[in-house]
Amino acid sequence: MRGSRFGALALLTVCALVPTAGGAVAAPPAVGPDATALQAALDRVTATGAVAEVRQGSAVWRDSSGKSRLNGRQAAPVDGRFRAGSVTKTFTATVVLQLVGEGRLRLSDTAERWLPGLVPAPGGDKITVRELLQHASGLPEYTDGLLDGDAPHDRFRTWTPAELVRRAVKDGDRNRPLLFPPGTDHHYSNTDYIALGMIIEKVTGRSYRTEIDQRIIRPLALRDTRLPSSSPFLTGPHSHGYEPVEKEDGTLVPVDYTTVNMSIAGAAGEIISTTADLDHFFRTLLSGGLLHPAELREMTADTSGDGWGLGLEMAALPCGTIVGHGGGTPGYRTISFHTLDGTRQVTVDWTDWGTDADASPAALALMTAALCPS
């Protein structure tokens, strides 16, 4: 939720640091991941605790670093679950594109067709499904005023999607204007994906949670992945996440935010998963196991020119283009990136509480070591 982006800030840091390089990443080497180098890279990411999985072809490296609790003794669990924030968007986008492939929805459909009156501002009736997927709708961010850093002001409140969208499109009884005419610019907005979750429900008659579960989580046997809805609990093995809270004297203290109601993130950022499950999901997606070729091409094409596919973020490493998504919620930061063919993968999650050195450069180094081994 940092930067009102449920953690996509991590990717922006990557994009800013890495020089542009064209083309796909070269074929993986015959040898597997360099465990020593990867562990050293992961150790540099660690704020409180970190977990990672790297895949190069059929070879897998998975490990952890640091502790599961601040000032604790127990190691961060290698198979630990975490809140993956905006990585949820790729799951939501996959269901939307499946519906497109089934002929039940079109990328050119307007949100107005499925959700009449959703965006009352002038031009709001012109917003298309494609523009929602690619953050080109012009919709304002609904999280403004709801967060302190990444932490919700009311951590146990249950929000409905309609309430969240209303925050973006209304200021009291007045309509909020769009940030720009639909399709003329790009601005990352969680509101876009809350609206897409509502469209999924309108098209199918079932919630986006049910559709993601039955179309992706169950078929892929992602046993440690779930959409918790209003349940605030993170069950199973996990590290704890912390957020900085300012005391009256101005000092910052860590507050445990492991337990939090993530209905505030919904279809934009509520998912709980593991490194292994996320790599499995992206590997299946990018190899064509979830979408028809036409829809997969749409998803992985950066027609924006700004690094946005449809539910995917794109970046350039020295050895080529990678795709995936960043994510963050109170106390947790996630990056999950992959070569376009899914043969090289890295997913890493780390916990901090906002006072440690920025871990993004170290995470970038880990990504480079995993996806561009020498």
Quick: pLDDT tens for 326-343.
998 999 999 999 999 999
pLDDT at 18 over 50: no
**Cα separation, 296 vs 210, whole angstroms:** 22
Mean pLDDT, residues 230-259 taken together? 94
Q: Any idea which residues carry the catalytic annotation?
A: 86
pLDDT at 111 over 80: yes
Mean pLDDT, residues 217-233 taken together? 98
pLDDT digits (tens, 9 = 90+) for 274-303: 999 999 999 999 999 999 999 999 999 987
pLDDT in the model for residue 46: 82
DSSP per-residue string spanning 26-85: PPPPSS---HHHHHHHHHHH-SSEEEEEEEETTEEEEEEEEBSSTT-SSBPPTT-BEEEE
Mean pLDDT, residues 1-21 taken together? 42
**Cα separation, 149 vs 245, whole angstroms:** 9
